[in-house]
Amino acid sequence: MGNFKEFVKKHGRDEALGVLAEITKIELEEIYSVDMGLALVVWPEDNNPDSVADYISSGSREDMIKFLRGTADRLENKEDIPRPQGMVQ
């Protein structure tokens, strides 16, 4: 982890998060056998009603919202989430 901290110091947090997203996309393609988009959503675990989530995404804002909304709908309805094509069991 020390090397990553040095990378952040040298290149900045935004570039470091971009590199993490790209590495994650590469690994996801190995798992799913297709190019996968990703969104990482983070929030403070402080139970403050004024807290706001933040995110990074590899896709457009519109695509991210569409896929997050669809996932939230399935989770709220207790539906199974379909397995993407090519996923290794």
- Residue range 17-40, pLDDT digits in tens: 888 888 998 998 888 888 888 888
Token output for 12 = 């900045």
Residues 45 and 71 occupy one common structural domain: yes
57 pLDDT more than 60? yes
Give me the mean pLDDT over the 1-7 stretch.
78
> Could you give the number of structural domains in the chain?
2
Q: Residue 89 domain-assigned?
A: no
Residues 20 and 50 occupy one common structural domain: no
pLDDT at 83: 67
**Considering the entire predicted model, what is its pTM?**
0.63
Q: 40 has which bridge partners?
A: 56
Amino acid found at 15 = E
Give the domain range for residue 22. 1-34
- Give Cβ neighbours of residue 39 (< 8 Å, ≥ 6 apart): 55, 56, 57, 58, 59, 64, 67, 68
Q: Residue 75 domain-assigned?
A: yes
Q: 55 has which bridge partners?
A: 41
54 pLDDT more than 80? yes
